[in-house]
A and B are shown apart, each in its own frame.
Chain A
Amino acid sequence: MRHLFLIAVAIILASQLTIASAKASGAEQVYKFYCAQCHGLTGKGDGPNVTKDFPVSPRNFTNAAEMNKLSDADMRNVIMDGGPSASKSPMMPPWGKTLTDAEVNGLIKHLRTLCQCKGKQG
């Protein structure tokens, strides 16, 4: 009986752990699926689309100095509406019709962990 109880507790704990880690990996998975093809898996701007003839370098998300120039709102705009909305290259796609609000919020947080920077406030 005691064993059974312990096993049950262990199972419950384990399942909660996986739920927690699934949530935590959400934003990272979204990043790797949609953004890494250009910005690279680790955010260095070196995804498989960036060949010699790619016209502009996708932002290197690990460059804190550059990333600090952007507020969270700036990031949201460019992610939703694409490069031209911020006078940047159209090679940065508009994702507003593809991603949910929650996914975009998650991405902004994820980019902040990649740059380890807080960004321009306001």
Chain B
Amino acid sequence: MRHLILATLSTVALFAATTMATMGAANASAGGDVFAAKGCADCHYTQGPAREKTIDDQLAKKGPELWYAGSKFQKDWLGKWLTDPKPIRPMKFGSLTVENPADHPKLSGGDVAAVTDFLMGLTSADVAAGKVKPKKNPKGRQIFSKKMPCSGCHQYVGRKKKIMGGRSGPSLVEAGVRLNPDWILAYLQKPKVFKPVKMMPVFVGLLSDKDMLNVSRYVANFKPKKKKK
């Protein structure tokens, strides 16, 4: 009798697990369909490895590549952003003169979860998990705003909660809720994998692994201002 119960329980558990897994996969594949149907693929490519070889290739893109989206973003942030896409890059994508027009297509209803699952399934084996624990640290801060010109190209929250910094790179004001901390480190360490051609300098050989870890932990700790209630 006891065996029977155990057997039934484990079958039920197994069944539940497989349905959940297939549902997840089904949702992700539905998400892939939505992604194609909504024209997202006109501006974003979702299959790696990186395709850009020249400046022309990089400038021809209409939106950032998403083939490693699942390694780059935090899932909660992604779902929210797809429903309410606020500008990330201060300037229009690929432009130095025009402001970001804040006109990214929005998703709603069931499409949001499906596309989120689809994008979170696009991962890169080049991101090691569990390396970067977000933390404010003086060494990271020193690199970010004094030793290296990071703050010259990226917005961040400075003293008195003021948004400071340069405008040519993606804003890092929300880096701590938007980006996977481990991806930040991988991005600095493996520029060829993620961004073979970009306006940001290569820091490999200029910053030690330790420095890269410290600055990644520092950036991964950036959180947007809490709204006053």
A contact set with B: CB distance below 8 Å: 29-30, 32-34, 36-38, 41, 47-49, 51, 53-54, 82, 90-98
Contact = CB atoms under 8 A, between A and B. Distances in A.
A110 B170 CA distance: 28
Given A47-B96, A82-B149, 19 more contacts: A32-B96, A33-B59, A37-B199, A48-B90, A48-B91, A49-B153, A54-B166, A90-B147, A91-B149, A92-B149, A93-B148, A93-B149, A94-B201, A94-B206, A95-B201, A97-B203, A97-B204, A97-B205, A97-B206
A53 B163 CA distance: 10
Contacts of A47: 96, 168
A68 to B, nearest CB: 26
B51 to A, nearest CB: 17
A14 B90 CA distance: 40
In this complex, the member of B58, B59, B204, B206 whose beta carbon has the largest number of chain A beta carbons within 10 angstroms is: B206
A42 B147 CA distance: 28
Contacts of B167: 48-49, 51
Interface in B144-163: 146-149, 152-153, 158
Contacts of A90: 146-149
Contacts of A54: 152, 166
B96 A41 contact: yes
A91 B201 contact: no
* Interface SS majority for chain A: loop
Interface of B: 55-56, 58-59, 90-91, 96-97, 146-149, 152-153, 158, 164-168, 199, 201-206
Contact of B199 (A34, A51, A82, A97): A34
B55 A49 contact: no
Contacts of B166: 37-38, 48-49, 51, 54
A119 B204 CA distance: 32
Contacts of A29: 55-56
A49 B203 contact: no
A33 B149 contact: no
A37 B153 CA distance: 8
Nearest to B55: A33
Contacts of A53: 158, 164-165
Contacts of A33: 55, 58-59, 199
B168 A48 contact: yes
Nearest to A55: B152
A95 B205 CA distance: 11
A26 B147 CA distance: 31
A62 to B, nearest CB: 17
